[in-house]
Amino acid sequence: MRDIAPKIRIRISMNTSIIALLHGPDKPGIVAGVAGWILENGGSILHADQHHDGQQGVFFQRVEWVHADGSDPDDRAKSFYEMAVKMGMKIKTALSSDRPKVAIMVSKAGHAFHELVQNWQAGDLPCDISVVLGNHRDLESVATSHGLPFVFTPIAKETKAATEKQQIEIFREYGVQLVVMARYMQVLSDSFLDHCGAPVINIHHSFLPAFAGARPYHQAYERGVKIIGATAHYATAVLDDGPIIHQDVRPVSHRKSVLDLMRLGRDLEKLVLAEAVRLHLENRILVYGNKTVVFD
């Protein structure tokens, strides 16, 4: 008997799992219906998490499962999608083998970019970093040293529209499915967000909604805060107002200068951004309204 369990675990782990994120009006029988369908179709649930918003009357679920019978995961995902729609659910499906193509946008500061690349190289971010765009050349040599294409897209007030159009064309050329602003110090236009063809994750160096906009550490210092924070969120047309993905804070005291706050904040920024990107890539985030449900 000692040899049987390891063999079963290895066989299942080698299978591509299916991930579904679904939400809709809360009603009895959703959990049983989802689990029952998976069981009846020969699946084995690896992970399931759900949330009920009592105020809105909305049910949210993330479920991940495998079929160990050699069936096509794409076909199974499509069948599950059709079943969930009949239940009145909005649904997104993905496969554990998916590796979305990611573009990273940078300016001069490299801490967030370094953290992303190191996590990616360690295998902690299931994606392909396809291209790095910079409005300065400071990180070009770093990107190319990791074998990543770097495209210099300088931007000025009078050239902003043309540069953003060029950036969107680059995204299309590389098939980009996620854009990450790794301390890219430019405000993206409404037109850019409407046409870039991918969700955009930004890192803001404050604990939003406090101190949105420019120079947040200076704002925090002037208010004499006792904590500083960093916030990763999806970028929207309203500056620093998109759905929040992940946040963290660090205690500070009156003895800290603005430069101290900036130095301490860099560690928060890079870790918070990397975690938000991981959560997105692992399909753990469900956006509704201007909020997110982030599943374990």
Residues 6+ away with beta carbon under 8 Å from 87: 24, 30, 33
**Residue linked to tokens 């971010």:** 125
- Choose, from 3, 240, 248, 260, the residue flagged as catalytic: 240
Instruction: Let me know: does 136 contact 153? Beta carbons within 8 Å.
Output: no
Tokens, residue 286 = 């469900």
Indicate if 240 belongs to the active site.
yes
3-state secondary structure the chain: CCCHHHHHHHHHHCCCCEEEEEEEECCCCHHHHHHHHHHHCCEEEEEEEEEEECCCCEEEEEEEEEECCCCCHHHHHHHHHHHHHHCCCEEEEEECCCCCEEEEEECCCCHHHHHHHHHHHCCCCCCEEEEEEECCCCCHHHHHHCCCCEEECCCCHHHHHHHHHHHHHHHHHHCCCEEEECCCCCCCCHHHHHHCCCCEEEEECCCCCCCCCCCHHHHHHHHCCCEEEEEEEECCCCCCCCCEEEEEEEECCCCCCHHHHHHHHHHHHHHHHHHHHHHHHCCCEEEECCEEEECC
Annotated catalytic sites, by residue?
Answer: 240
